[in-house]
Chain A
Amino acid sequence: MVYSLEIKNLRSGIEQKEILKGVDLTIKPKEVHALMGRNGSGKSTLAQTLMGSPTYKVLEGSAKIFGKDILELETTERAKTGLFLSFQYPSEIPGVKVYSFLRMIYNKSHEAKLSPRMFREFLEKKIEVLEMDPSFSDRFLNEGFSGGEKKRMEMLQMLMLEPKVIILDEVDSGLDIDAIKVVSRAVNYLIEEHNSSVLLITHYSRILNYIKPDFVHIMLDGKIVKTGGEEVASHLEEYGYSDSELDVPVLKNEE
């Protein structure tokens, strides 16, 4: 079976400090895996390591997208395999208009190019889906955006790229319930229409009401310590991470 994402014994860190201490995770097409855990447990490190952040160094293990090992690839090449990361803190790029940036990444990621008019129409539809103001496309990329606007901007880029493997790093933080619904709609659209799979990193189970997880994983000190269904998230919501229930043996992912 070829997995969308297959991670084996992944260890990574900053310089000498190990943060990920052996992560195993497999995700099939159309599956949604929620990854929960305290601050500092290594969730974002996993996301950044997979995308190839220069901050983190891989120490051991492998990560494959559709059977292709990505850990040796430049970030650009990883993106080309269909991997997408919605950043927790997206960078601001002054002077670069959203419209021309989106057109650039669309054309780079699609064989069939769209004429300027067709692209404009395509973009307008996506902007509507995300309930964004059309004037967004004339602003500079993320510059002066509020936290919520940045998250929508990440979703808009995701809709341009139509990625196969989506990592959402706390896409719900700082969003009200209406915004969470909007974001979820965009993600669910890609799952349905493009068979995308999702690794959803979050602190709160709230978003899981709108993006239904097939599995919920709990991360603790750089490792996945528990895997289950939605009930794991509801348990967490009720008792928090300090509950001793977490000490139950890790459940295996069903093949």
Chain B
Amino acid sequence: MKNNQLKDIRETYATKFGFNMPEAPFSKAQMGLSEDVVREISKNKGEPEWMLEYRLKAYEAFKQKPMPSWGADLSHIDLQNIYYYIKPTGAEKRTWEDVPENIKTTFDRLGVPQAEREYLSGVKAQYDSEVVYSSLMDELEEEGVIFLSTDEALRKHPEIFKEYFGKVIPYADNKFSALNSAVWSGGSFVYIPKGVSVKRPLQAYFRINAQNMGQFERTLIIAEEGSFAHYVEGCTAPVYSSDSLHAAVVEVIVKPGARFRYTTIQNWSDNVYNLVTKRARVEKDAVMEWVDGNLGSKVTMKYPSCYLIGEGARGEVLSIAYASKGQHQDAGAKMIHAAPNTSSSIVSKSVSLRGGRTSYRGLVDVALSAPNARARVECDALILDSISATDTFPTMRINESSANVEHEATVSKIGEEKLFYLMSRGLTESEAMGLIVSGFIEPIVRELPMEYAVELNRLIELEMEGSVG
């Protein structure tokens, strides 16, 4: 075909998401990282002594660990050129009216209050280092559901907090989990009591506003026996010429018979390094589902994991990555089978164009103690032009002969034949490409909450306005 006319979904990013508001911080730590900064964050939050000690231990571990060199290129991160803590406002608000004007305007433009009214059970909005707004439907509160910022949970529910915090992901797990453990701020704390089913999603929206910002939210989720909930997070940031860093840690505990779904639509601006550790402990007959969409950021390294430690536990990851100019999405999943009759499924779809690069990196580990494990991995990459790239790094460690493991991987380009076929029906070349791309990611898009599916399809720019309503 003559030229590649597919609209880049990130072309409109600057106006839709990439705007910024003047900085008016309530308080701001000095630039760069030091023990003093770590102490200052803890002091500012009025934390108990054990948390300060935990942070300091984590900081030591962070200093000792080398930068990971096995994945994406991280050599350009300047860790001393980052603000580790910016507190945007005095305290968390319960109504949008109370949120400071600039911050409220930001979330209005991103459509957060509207989404809350229309289809959510509860909302958290984090702006730089702190959660500035939170809400939860009254009836869920009455049922004992807890949905707080992680800082507030530490104050209000210290026992339950201490029991679970840092247990699924130890601070020394990797360099960036150590960094997060040292300087964490904000994030969501979710507690779903036994047998409670939360019908509508709980949503968190993470927004970086300040330049050279590091956002280190910390999320802790406990789904008690037989419960169900769906947590959704979205993330965006202004477009700046200097880099920002986002290094979150997310721990999920899914108790026996519970089911938890965690959906991420990551749409950071392409000056953000996104280095996130996400892991779930999945107990007997429980199900954990990660739906992981990576559209934005300069570099992402993220491999949501399920530790299947109870008999009959199941883990699923649906991962979609989109890499355009200047982006590298190094994403995937890890499934650790550590109990009998566990099952897992990883489906990864990636699209690269305009020089973007996608990598699938995954692990399936079946321990000797896990007979009759079933694992399935499917990763499909679509490359739209000759200057883009994709690679696959699957690892399988199977120590149990009764395991049933399947792996399928495909790499495809958009065939001229398909384009010709669709164009013969009157579609333009870019419409035809858009249709093929949206069809390619359909298996994942259909798992998203409707509003996100619509948004994602719109992002993929079918250019169908006026032709399909």
Query: A interface vs B, CB < 8 Å?
Result: 51-55, 74-76, 78-80, 84-85, 87, 90-91, 93-96, 100-101, 103-105, 107-109, 113, 116, 140-141, 157, 161
Q: Which of B420, B428, B429, B464 is within 8 Å of A53, CB to CB?
A: B420
- A171 vs chain B, min Cβ distance (A): 15
Interface residues in B, total, Cβ within 8 A:
28
State whether A52 touches B420 (Cβ < 8 A).
Answer: yes
Partner of B418, one of A84, A93, A116: A93
Complex CA distance for A55 and B415, rounded to whole angstroms: 12
The one of B420, B422, B468 in contact with A107, judged by C-beta atoms closer than 8 angstroms, is: B468
Structural contact, B421 and A90, CB atoms closer than 8 A:
yes
In the bound complex, what is the Cα–Cα distance between A116 and B467 (angstroms)?
Answer: 12
Question: A94-B439, A94-B442, A140-B439 are known contacts. Are A104 and B427 too (CB-CB below 8 A)?
Answer: yes
Verify A109–B426 contact, CB threshold 8 A.
yes
Q: Is B424 an interface residue (CB 8 A)?
A: yes
Among B436, B441, B468, contact of A103 (Cβ-Cβ < 8 Å):
B468
Give B351 Cβ to nearest chain A Cβ, in Å.
Answer: 12
Contact A95 B467, beta carbon cutoff 8 Å: no
Q: How far is the CB of B293 from chain A (nearest CB, A)?
A: 16
A79-B424, A91-B422 known; 18 new pairs, CB 8 Å cut-off, are A52-B424, A54-B420, A75-B424, A76-B426, A78-B424, A79-B425, A93-B439, A94-B439, A95-B439, A95-B443, A96-B436, A100-B468, A101-B435, A104-B468, A105-B425, A108-B426, A113-B469, A157-B425
Q: List 12 A-B residue pairs with CB atoms under 8 Å apart, sorted by A's residue number.
A: A52-B424, A54-B1, A80-B426, A90-B421, A93-B418, A93-B422, A95-B438, A95-B442, A95-B443, A104-B467, A116-B469, A161-B426
With the chains together, A211 CA to B426 CA distance in Å? Answer: 26
Q: When A and B form their complex, which 9 residue pairs have the shortest distance between CB atoms, in order from nearest?
A: A95-B439, A95-B442, A96-B439, A75-B423, A79-B426, A91-B421, A107-B467, A91-B418, A105-B425
**A80 vs chain B, min Cβ distance (A):** 6
Residues of A within 8 A of B417 (CB): 91
Asked if B416 is at the interface (CB within 8 A of a chain A CB), the reply is yes
* B440 touches A (CB below 8 Å): yes
- Chain A residues whose C-beta falls within 8 Å of the C-beta of B440 in the assembled complex: 94-95
Q: Is the interface of B mostly helix, strand, loop or mixed?
A: helix
Q: For the complex formed, measure the closest distance between the CB of A82 and the CB atoms of chain B, giving whole angstroms.
A: 10
Residues of chain B lying within 8 A (CB to CB) of residue A80: 426
Inter-chain CA distance A100–B435, complex, in Å, is 10
Q: How far is the CB of B403 from chain A (nearest CB, A)?
A: 29
Say whether B425 contacts A96, CB under 8 Å.
Answer: no
Contact B435 A96 (CB under 8 A): yes
Contacting residues, chain A, for B420 (C-beta < 8 A) = 51-54, 75
Name which residue of chain B comes closest to A109, CB basis. B426
Pick the contact of A54: B416, B442, B469 (CB < 8 A). Answer: B416
Contacts of B1 in A (CB 8 A): 54
Which of B415, B427, B441, B467 interacts with A76 by CB under 8 Å? B427
Report the bound CA distance from A87 to B415 in whole Å. 16
How many residue pairs bridge A and B at CB < 8 Å?
Answer: 82
- Known A54-B1, A93-B435, A93-B439: A79·B467 in contact at CB below 8 Å: no
Determine if A96 and B426 form an interchain contact, defined as CB atoms under 8 angstroms apart. Answer: no
Which residues in A have their C-beta under 8 angstroms from that of B427? 76, 104-105, 108
Q: Is B421 a contact partner of A76 (Cβ separation < 8 A)?
A: no
Q: Which residues of B contact A103 (CB under 8 A)?
A: 468
Contact with A along B392-434 (1 / 0, CB 8 A): 0000000000000000000000011110111111111100000
Complex CA–CA separation, A84 to B427 (angstroms): 13
A153 to chain B, nearest CB (A): 11
Distance (Å) between the CB of A94 and the closest chain B CB?
5
Residues on B with beta carbons closer than 8 Å to the beta carbon of A75: 420, 423-424
Residues 432-469 of chain B: 1 if any A CB is under 8 Å from the residue's CB, otherwise 0?
Answer: 00011011111100000000000000000000101111
> Measured between alpha carbons, how far is A52 from B468 in the docked complex, in Å?
26
Chain A residue contacts of B443, Cβ below 8 A: 95
C-beta contact mask, B108-125 vs A, less than 8 Å → 1, else 0? 000000000000000000
Chain B residues, CB < 8 A from A109: 426
User: Does B438 contact A104, Cβ atoms closer than 8 Å?
Assistant: no
Taken together as a complex, chains A and B put the C-alpha atoms of A100 and B434 apart, in Å, by 14
Q: Is the Cβ of A74 less than 8 Å from the Cβ of B423?
A: yes
Given the complex, which residues of A lie within 8 Å of B436, measured CB to CB? 93, 96
- Residue in B415, B423, B429, B442 whose beta carbon sits within 8 Å of that of A96 in the complex: B442
State how many angstroms separate the Cβ of A148 from the closest Cβ of chain B.
18
A100 to B436, CA, bound (A): 13
What is the chain A residue whose CB lies nearest that of B443?
A95
Residues from chain B with a CB closer than 8 A to the CB of A53 are 420
Asked whether, in the complex, the Cβ of B435 is within 8 Å of the Cβ of A76, the reply is no
Cβ distance B243 to chain A, nearest Cβ, rounded Å: 35
Interfacial chain A residues near B415, Cβ < 8 Å: 91
Residue of B nearest to A157 (CB): B425
Which of B423, B442, B466 has most chain A Cβ within 10 Å? Answer: B423
Contacts of B426 in A (CB 8 A): 76, 79-80, 105, 108-109, 161
Give the one of B417, B422, B438 with max A CB within 10 A. Answer: B422
Residue ID in chain B nearest A115 by CB atoms: B469
Hey, which chain A residues are within 8 Å of B435, CB to CB?
93, 96, 101, 104
Most buried by B among A51, A76, A94, A161: A76
Q: Which residues of A contact B421 (CB under 8 A)?
A: 87, 90-91, 93
Contacts of A85 in B (CB 8 A): 424
- Chain A residues whose C-beta falls within 8 Å of the C-beta of B442 in the assembled complex: 94-96, 140
Docked CA distance A161–B441 (Å): 27
Q: Are A104 and B418 in contact (CB under 8 A)?
A: no
CA distance A108 to B463 in the complex (A): 12
A54 to nearest B CB, angstroms?
A: 5
Residues of B within 8 A of A100 (CB): 468
State A101–B467 Cα separation when bound (angstroms).
10
Residue B424 contacts which of A51, A95, A101, A107 (CB distance < 8 angstroms)? A51
A74 contacts across to B, CB distance below 8 A: 423, 429
Complex Cα spacing A104 to B469, Å: 9
In angstroms, Cα B443 to Cα A164, docked, is: 37
Distance in Å: Cβ of A84 to nearest Cβ of chain B: 8
Of listed B1, B424, B427, B466, residue having the most chain A CB within 10 A: B424
Q: Is the CB of B464 within 8 A of A76?
A: no
Which residues on the B side are within 8 Å of A140 (C-beta)?
Answer: 439, 442
